[in-house]
A = this chain, B = another copy of it.
Amino acid sequence: MNLLIVHPNDFISENMVSISGPRLHHIRNILKTDIDQSLAMGILNGSIGTGILASRNESRDLFQVQFSSPPPPALNVTLILALPRPKVFRRILQSITSLGVKHIILLHAFRVEKSYWQSPFLSDTSIFTQCIKGLEQAKDTMVPFIQMEKKFKPFVEDQLPLLLKDKKGYIAHPYCESSFGNPEPPAVVAIGPEGGFIPYEVQLLEKAGMQSFSMGARILTTETAASVLLSRFLPF
C-alpha cells in the first residue's frame, strides 16, 4: 500500500480523519506509523495528500489531513475482458486498476464457463476490495466502473458501436497478421478468454468496428496479456 484511501465518513472534522478496522491494523503492523509521522492519503474518488498521525487510542488513529493534489491521470482505455477464471480475475482487477483503467467491461463469450458468473469474487464487495488494493498500490483514488455483460451478441451489436464512436478498438487475437505498435488513447481493447474468441465472435467484434491484431507467436495468460497491452498506452 503506497497510499491510504480515506472515506467521506472517516472525517470527524474538516481536517481530521479517524481510522479503525483493517486499515488501522495495516497502519500499525505493516507501515508501523508513529505519532507525528506522515502517511500518503487520498480521499475515495477525490484528491490526494498527506495525513499526520495526531493521536492514537486502542481502537482508532486520528490523522490531521491535507488534500491538495489531483490523483494521477486516468488511462483513457476501455478494457473489454472475456470473464477470466474468478481467482485470476481478482488479481487482474488489481493490476489493471493500478494501471489507471477506469472502465472495465466483463463480457461473456463462448469459451467462458457459465459458472464463473456465479463466483463470490464478482460480488460488489469483492470487486470494490480488489479495486481499492489496486488504487492504493498506484497512489490513485478514482474507482473504476465495472460493467458486466452476460450476453455477448446484444452487447457487441448494440452497445459496442456507440463506445467506438470516438475511439479506436483493438482485439488481441493470436492468429492474425496485423501488428499493434503504439496506439494512442482513447481506445477500446478487447482480450478474449483462454483459447481465444471463436471466429464468429471475432467477426461480430470486427463488424462493430474493432480491429484484430496479433501479439506474436507467444500465447500469453490473460493476466500477462492485459499488462503487456495496456503498457503500449501508458505515457512513459
Contact = CB atoms under 8 A, between A and B. Distances in A.
Interface in A88-140: 94-95, 98-100, 137-140
Given A231-B231, A234-B228, A138 B95 contact: no
Interface string A222-235: 01100111111011
Contact of A218 (B98, B182, B223, B224): B98
Given A215-B236, A227-B227, A228-B234, A220 B139 contact: no
Interface residues of A, number: 34
Given A180-B236, A227-B228, A231-B228, A217 B95 contact: no
A215 to B, nearest CB: 5
Contact of A236 (B179, B227, B236): B179
A83 to B, nearest CB: 19
A221 interface: yes
A139 B219 contact: yes
A2 interface: yes
- What is the copy number of this chain in the assembly? 2
Given A179-B236, A180-B236, A236-B179, A227 B231 contact: yes
Nearest to A214: B236
A72 interface: yes
A181 B216 CA distance: 20
Contacts of A227: 224, 227-228, 231
A221 B130 CA distance: 14
Given A138-B220, A224-B95, A182 B182 contact: yes
Contacts of A236: 179-180, 213-216
A99 B229 CA distance: 13
A220 B218 CA distance: 24
23 contacts: A72-B217, A72-B218, A94-B221, A95-B220, A95-B223, A95-B224, A98-B219, A98-B220, A99-B218, A99-B220, A137-B220, A138-B218, A138-B220, A139-B218, A139-B219, A180-B236, A216-B234, A216-B235, A224-B227, A227-B227, A227-B231, A228-B231, A231-B231
Given A72-B216, A72-B218, A99-B220, 9 more contacts: A94-B221, A95-B221, A98-B219, A99-B218, A99-B224, A100-B218, A215-B234, A228-B228, A229-B231
